[in-house]
């Protein structure tokens, strides 16, 4: 289970998504690609939904979403029950959102980050464990907000 990942993008994120899949596959991860498959204009909420559904169905533990800024994907993903999506642009935030927030989706901006930086952030995201402990109550509070919807 820990080697299974799910990924999707919109048209702005396609090239970066392909680079991430190649990188993670090379590293031994089983990456399920939910599209999109090219650069024709699509709507990012549709693709966030596919990845979030797969996580809700426990087909993987972690997901990756790429759009132009990463913002639309993060907004869409966080509308889903049990999803804690983090827009990440640097190494520190990426590590901390796994350690403290137990983030299960990383959102990346293909018009913000270089591919090299995105790969570095993805490597940190998939390798970093949630710390638990004092963070459990806070993550439980985040999850409880799903019930308030
Ligand atoms: C697409 O032009 C762009 O709006 C989208 O990729 C994303 O940046 C939205 O948040």
At 72, which CATH number?
A: 3.40.1400.10
Residues 88 and 66 sit within 8 Å (Cβ to Cβ): no
Other beta carbons less than 10 A from residue 138's beta carbon: 12
- Point out the ligand 1 atom lying closest to the alpha carbon of residue 69: 8
User: Catalytic site residue 107?
Assistant: no
Where does the pLDDT of residue 148 fall: very low under 50, low under 70, confident under 90, or very high at 90 and above? confident
Q: Exactly one of 9, 36, 52, 67 is catalytic; which is it?
A: 67
Environment class of 48 (CB within 10 Å of its CB; exposed 0-12, middle 13-18, buried 19+): buried
Say whether pLDDT at 149 is over 80. Answer: no
Phi, psi of 20 (to 5 degrees): -65, -45
Residue 101's domain comprises 4-147
- Indicate whether this model's pTM tops 0.85: yes
pLDDT digits (tens, 9 = 90+) for 112-143: 999 999 999 999 999 999 999 999 999 999 99
Is 100 one of the catalytic residues? yes
Judged against a pLDDT cut of 80, whether residue 1 lies above it is answered with no
Q: What is the mean pLDDT of the chain?
A: 97
Beta pairing partners, 107: 65, 87
Domains identified in the chain, total number: 1
């Amino acid at each position: 289970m820990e080697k299974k990942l799910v990924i999707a993008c919109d048209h702005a994120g396609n090239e970066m998504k392909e680079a991430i899949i190649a990188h993670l596959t090379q590293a031994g991860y089983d990456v399920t690609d939910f599209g999109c498959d090219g650069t024709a204009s699509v709507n990012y909420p549709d693709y966030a939904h596919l990845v979030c559904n797969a996580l809700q169905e426990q087909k993987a533990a972690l997901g990756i979403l790429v759009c132009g800024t990463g913002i639309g994907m993060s907004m869409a993903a966080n509308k889903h029950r049990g999803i804690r999506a983090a827009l990440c642009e640097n190494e520190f935030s990426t590590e901390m959102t796994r350690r403290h927030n137990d983030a299960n989706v990383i959102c990346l901006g293909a018009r913000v980050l270089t591919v090299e930086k995105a790969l570095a952030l993805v490597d940190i995201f998939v390798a970093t464990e949630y710390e638990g402990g004092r963070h459990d109550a806070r993550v439980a509070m985040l999850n409880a907000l799903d019930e308030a919807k």
